[in-house]
A and B are shown apart, each in its own frame.
Chain A
Amino acid sequence: MEIKLQAILPGQKLMHLYRQMVLSREFEEGCAEQYTKGRITGFLHLYSGQEAVAVGATAGLHHEDYILSAYREHAQAIVRGSDPRRVMAELFGKSTGLCKGKGGSMHLFDPEHNFMGGYAIVGGQLPIAVGLAFSSVYRGEDRITACFFGDGAVNQGTFHESLNWARLWELPVLFICENNFYGIGTEVHRSSALASIHKRTCGYDIPSEKVDGMDVIAVYRAVRHAAELVREQRRPYFIEAVTYRFRGHSMADPAKYRSAAEQSIWKSRDPIPAFAKRLLEESVATETELEGIRRECTELVKEAVQFAETSPWPESSELWDGVYVPDDAVGESDHV
């Protein structure tokens, strides 16, 4: 029998998870709208459908734990605590953006919330996560590093090098693979000899498990348990969260490589209404309360868009800022 929600988390916390999933969805759908209006440009990879992974996983971590992710990372930053207005402003390329308009959608970074970056080279963040975990051990800190990546990353050299290294040096890294079954248009079984990704870690003696990435509570419980193990044992752990993106790889992708039947099966498993249903069934919330959360999140995204729209563009004088640290022991540079 399924454990009751309130035996796992207090009602207030459960409502918080619901709110974060709704905010993530509303934010992404708001981004899509702004993209079609031409206000967000460049690449735009949306997270709709995968919310249970970011929300459940982040709830299972401590705030001082480092998080790194790939380029589909708006929700991970917002769920971690980044201001949605500043994330939207970054997507608009405005100076009030999280990275002052220098990074855009794929390169959010918010050290205040220990969100150590979105990286747009597939698998590029894995070695960096290992290095951050090493810095924590070296400095005697209690924190762990959670590294998100997609199913496409598992065939990169950095995946294998990083898993080997993390186990060899006994570093507190929690690897979280968000398996949404497609690396752009290539399905996992067409790119991986062993499509069951979590089984690949046996080559590196790293324990792993597969979790339903459409169930926020399942993800939360798995990550909380794994994070405790990683923190206590100072060793890596690996979670494969099976999920699905409701949109194409990016806004430029109509996702014609996926059948309508497949998409409709996954949409029927949408993590947000599924969790709402449980909250109602178990009387954690009323429909009025959930509706209130939805309205509030819609409003927050409107505010974010308004903030981004009215924010100033970066000045041309900011162009050269941030390449090098200017007050450097190396003296004057003609680049600074």
Chain B
Amino acid sequence: MSDMTYRDAINLALREELRRDPTVFILGEDVALYEGSFKVTRGLLAEFGAERVRDTPISENTIIGVAIGAAMGGLRPVAELMTVNFALLAMDQLINHMAKIRYMFGGQTMLPMVVRAPGGGGSQLAAQHSQSLESYFMHCPGIHLAMPATPADAKGLLKTAIRSKNPVMFLEHELLYNSTGSVPDDPEFLVPFGKARVMREGSDVTIVAYSRMAVLALEAAHALEQEGVSCEVIDLRTLAPLDVATIVASSLKTGRAVVVEECCGAAGLGGDIAWRIHAACFESLLAPVKRVSGLDLPMPYSSALEKLCIPQADTIIMAVRDVVNGRT
């Protein structure tokens, strides 16, 4: 095990997979010479050369289309979108093409490709650079969606994504890049998809979260312990496939659940997860499931306003208290 940042863990996963499989290559805006706008691809051009680490024009839709074609042609592209906000420029290739091609062509081809994109709010980047778009992708069949919360998962999930035969959206959180943790050195360390991790066991409430929200949920759980509330924290790790079994088992055990999402609440994934808990655990629930969501607003710039839009540890703590006290 080595201590490293989330950023370096992703870099290591890319490096190991580039070494392991000559069909893996990287493409994206400023990923090579500039080493990535968040420096995730630092050192890769130097080690692997310009054939395999490739700068592209600012043409997001075509970045994804080229990755699709390359994957269809037998390569394993890892495309970087500079931020997930720019995925909106590529939605035609992501949704109409990447997610559909295998099915509409009768299963005759596969697209082993990864689309990496940093996202999330909290850096005062205002409305066009602060979005959490995970619900958009979770809504679309044909895509796997991974959102790591820890450096170890960042490495293990990305390696699994690169080795997968299916298209994977791999969404990184910009505020986690400098977070640190222990990461296995084993180049065969893989984290399977569709297996949530119980970050902390507890008996009173289940908190279901992912990515940075899982980190905040854990913080909230520590604080709530002082109040005598025992929280079980589940980090989903992948939203598609979704580990419904782990969510349900924990909710049955605790009888209460809070679902935390950073994205806007309207038609958000938290509603879907909350429904799944209700449908499977209705008879055993001691209180209705509570949702904690990003506010339904374009992200404001001012720090005073921005923090109100994004779920904080305190927001989660209040939601847990509500559930425990039977307030809906």
**Which residues of chain A have a CB within 8 Å of any CB of chain B?**
66, 97-103, 107, 109-111, 116-117, 119, 121, 124, 126-136, 138-139, 157-158, 161-162, 164-165, 168-169, 321-325, 327-335
Contact = CB atoms under 8 A, between A and B. Distances in A.
Sorted nearest first, the 3 A-B pairs with minimum C-beta distance are: A131-B69, A127-B65, A135-B73
Contacts of A111: 108-109
Contacts of B72: 116, 128, 131-132, 135
Nearest to A163: B62
B221 to A, nearest CB: 27
Contacts of A323: 102-103, 141-142
Contacts of B163: 329
B124 interface: no
Interface in B228-284: 238, 240-242, 244
Contacts of B67: 131
A135 B25 CA distance: 11
Interface string B122-164: 0000000000000000000110100000000000000011011
Contact of A332 (B73, B142, B241): B241
Contacts of B93: 124, 127
B97 A124 contact: yes
B102 to A, nearest CB: 6
B31 interface: no
A133 B193 contact: no
Interface residues of B, number: 55
Contacts of B202: none
Contacts of A121: 92, 96-97
A323 B92 CA distance: 18
A4 B112 CA distance: 49
Contacts of A110: 108
Nearest to B161: A330
Given A111-B108, A135-B72, A158-B62, A164 B57 contact: yes
A43 B75 CA distance: 33
Choose among A107, A158, A325 the residue with the greatest number of B CB atoms under 10 Å from its CB.
A325
A66 B190 CA distance: 35
A162 B165 contact: no
Contacts of A103: 104-106
Given A117-B101, A135-B70, A332-B194, A322 B240 contact: no
A333 B104 contact: no
Given A99-B105, A321-B107, 12 more contacts: A102-B106, A102-B107, A109-B108, A109-B109, A129-B69, A131-B65, A134-B69, A325-B102, A325-B165, A332-B241, A333-B194, A333-B240
Contacts of A116: 72, 109
B94 to A, nearest CB: 11
B102 A99 contact: no
A143 to B, nearest CB: 9
Report whether over half of chain B's contact residues are helix, strand or loop; otherwise say mixed: mixed
A109 B105 contact: yes
B64 to A, nearest CB: 7
B57 A165 contact: yes
B166 A328 contact: yes
B71 A131 contact: yes
A330 B239 CA distance: 13
A138 B25 contact: yes
A324 B56 contact: no
A111 B104 CA distance: 14
A330 B57 CA distance: 31
A279 B56 CA distance: 49
Choose among B102, B161, B168 the residue with the greatest number of A CB atoms under 10 Å from its CB.
B102
Given A99-B108, A100-B106, A330 B166 contact: yes
B106 A331 contact: no
A128 B71 CA distance: 9
B153 to A, nearest CB: 14
B110 interface: yes
Contacts of B97: 119, 121, 124, 128
B74 interface: yes
